[in-house]
Structure 1
Amino acid sequence: MRLDLQPWGETMAELVTAARAAESAGAGVVWAPELHRSAFTTAAALATGTSKAAGGESRIGVGTGIALAFARSAMLTAIAAADLDELAEGRFRLGLGTGVARLNQDWHGVPFERPLPRLRDTVEIVRKVLAGGDPVTHKGVRSIRVRGWRRPYPPVREHIPIYLAGVGPAMVALAAQTADGWIGHELCPPADLRDRILPTLRSARRDDFDVVAAACCSVDDDPREARRRAANVVGFYASVRSYAEMFRHAGFGAVTEKASAALRGGRSADDLGDLVPEAMVDAYTIAGTPGQCRSRIAAYDGLAGALKLSAPSYGLPADETRHAQEGLLTLVGSLR
């Protein structure tokens, strides 16, 4: 199983340094999320800051994990993907996700109606633009009609892999039907991957389909410290209405109610870890000593082609996140 990393940095320079450390540790892909930074800008920094192996073969991949599919036009997304693949010398992977309704409508002012066909249309348009034909047309929930335009630069590759993020069964099935890979939510334990996600992916996917599970990984010689750092990650999602049913189904409904009430009362969503019991941290993250984390990572073997790991950062001072990432990089290096 490939181990990927979602690097963190207080500055872009520090983030690139972390990506280089991941490359040295043997990570397979570095992924750029989209929340506090632009996924495409971050991916550009990662692409130029990492390298290819001797002999010209790809060394570490670079991907958006994930870029918001609706906040940009599908054509701009395709053009950015082609640019990034050029910067990465053929190592780029385009990861896309819908985000939730409030993020699209309130933050970015874009429609969120019928997200499933809208995402399907986005993938089709991106592929048509990347194919380089003239005209480029598609009619659907999301449409395009471009005539007299052709990208005048030779592509690095004929095909840029597209990954889709999905949690619910319909989005997971869409990834299986239309994409080259699936990217999991960072709260996706092995049992959920095995029992809920993989049966849907296997129903339609090709043999070369890349299943990328994800997990927050908090490593410390003191397992209580490791859990404390990871707790804010779980607390953040416990306060989000979209995940309430998932937590209720697992027996943590009371925690979601407390987290939602705390959020309404003015507490920061990044600082709700004190409401999360250790059992919930253990259920949804990889947190503990290096040995405990190795065992938890091994549980994904045979279920996923890759595991995207990220250090805890929610509600933590920069120095503490930095320390947590150093521990994660050491762990990844010991597993290669």
Structure 2
Amino acid sequence: MRLTYGPWGETLSELASSARAAEDAGAETLWVPELHRSAMVSAAVLAGATTRTRIGTAIALAFTRSPMTTALEALDLDELSGGRFVLGLGSGVRRLNEDWHGVAWDKPVARMRDTVAAIREFTAGCRTGDPIEAPGMRIRGYQRPFPTERARIPIYLAAVGPAMTRLAGEIGDGWISHELCSPAYLRDRVRPQLNVRPGFDVVVSACCSIDEDPAVARRRAAGLVGFYASVRTYAGFFAFHGLGAEQAGVVDRFRRGAGADDLADVVPQRMVDLLTLSGTADQVRDKLAAYEGLAGAIKLTPPTHGVSSEETRVAQDRIIELIGDLA
């Protein structure tokens, strides 16, 4: 199972330094999200700061850019990284698309299928000058004058629901899990939907918090669990783990005015233990081993919700140290 990492930085300079440290430690891929920064800009920073690791978006929002724009950015990032780029796409949720970005939310599974098809058609044919036909794309009189590293850039899809998960297994080069994904959930709910085939990459994401005092490690991760538990969309996920009542407590606190980053105090230890890799270094190693045979790679990330920047830095340093020990 390959060790990959989602570096963190309060500044882009710190993000670059974190990426170099993770590469030196042995991380096989470095992933960047899209929420507080543009995933594409962050990926460009990582491409310039590293020389060996793959650089991936986990994830870039699929519907807030046109497929052509996404394809152009992917080609540029693949050139910038020397053929190391992985395009990870996700749909996001309705509120994020409609209220934050002003784009329509309609049949996301079908739209994701069409988006991936259009990106692949464009990256494969943009150098020829021939017409490009794809769902939602009709291009005439266009020829990219620059060389490309690859005509086909790997596309991974993030998915939580069963329909999008099945689509990832059907058309994607890989699947990326939600930040909370236990071995049991991966085994019993996700893999049966993926129809994993040779060469298909299963990437499980895990919030990781390491400290000599397990209680300190859990406390750091509790805020991230609370952040996601406040979203009712994930009710089925929490119910699968027998955490429906615990999620309801978090949602109630959120509805009574607590901020999404201020919910750690209503997250019980059981939630953190089931859904994150938190504890001493030895305990985290044991939890990592539970994913063997289920995932091709694990994406470790430090907690970033409900904690200070300094606490995230400490957590990041411990994860990179662990990657170095294991790699």
Of 189, 213, 217 in structure 2, the residue corresponding to residue 196 of structure 1 is: 189
Which of 214, 220, 230 aligns to 2:205? It is 214
Of the three residues 32, 56, 71, the one matched with 1:63 is 56
More moved, 248-257 vs 35-44:
248-257
CA contact (8 A) 1:33 1:65 kept: yes
After the TM superposition, which residues 74-113 of structure 1 pair with which residues of structure 2 at under 5 Å, given as runs?
74-113=67-106
With structure 2 as the length reference, what TM-score do the two structures score?
0.97
The equivalences for 1:1-336 within 5 A come to: 1-51=1-51, 59-133=52-126, 134-139=130-135, 143-202=136-195, 205-336=196-327
Q: Any unmatched runs of 5+ in structure 1?
A: 52-58
Give, in whole Å, the separation in 2 of the partners of 1:286 and 1:222.
14
Secondary structure of the 2:18 match is helix
- Alpha-carbon offset, residue 97 of structure 1: 0.3
CA shift for structure 1 position 265? 2.1
> 40-49 or 146-155: which moved more?
146-155
Counterpart residue identity of residue 172, structure 1: T
Distance 2:241 2:53 in 1: 36
Per-residue deviation, residues 101-121 of structure 1 (Å, max 9, x unmatched):
000000000011100000000
Structure 2 distance, partners of 1:228, 1:305, is 29
SS in 2 for 1:75: helix
Q: Tell me how far apart the structure 1 counterparts of residues 185 and 143 of structure 2 sit (CA, whole Å).
A: 44
Aligned residue type for 1:137:
E
Give a deviation string over 1:38-94, Cα, whole Å, max 9, x none: 00000000001101xxxxxxx210000100000100110000000000000000000
Displacement of 1:253 after TM fit? Answer: 1.7
Alpha-carbon distance, 1:263 to partner = 1.7
What amino acid is aligned across from residue 294 of structure 2 in structure 1?
Answer: L
Quote the offset at 1:255 in angstroms: 2.1
Secondary structure of 1:196 counterpart: helix
Counterpart Cα distance in 1 of 2:312 and 2:302? 7
In structure 1, distance between residues paired with 2:27 and 2:237: 30
SS of the aligned residue for 1:84 comes to helix
The aligned length equals: 324
Q: CA deviation at 1:260?
A: 1.7
Residues 252 and 280, structure 1, Cα contact 8 Å, conserved in 2: yes
Per-residue deviation, residues 18-45 of structure 1 (Å, max 9, x unmatched)? 0000001100000010000000000000
Task: Name which of structure 1's ranges 214-223 and 190-199 shifts more when overlaid on structure 2.
Answer: 190-199
Gapped runs of 5+ residues in structure 2? none
Asked if 2 retains the 8 angstrom alpha-carbon contact of 1:96 and 1:164, the reply is: yes
Tell me if the contact between 1:132 and 1:151 (Cα under 8 Å) persists in the aligned partners. no
Q: Counterpart of 1:27 in 2: which secondary structure?
A: coil
Instruction: Note if contact 1:33-1:64 (Cα within 8 Å) is conserved in structure 2.
Output: yes
State the 1:157 CA deviation: 1.6
CA RMSD of aligned residues (A): 1.0
Residue type matched to 2:238 in 1?
A: F
Percent identity over paired residues: 56
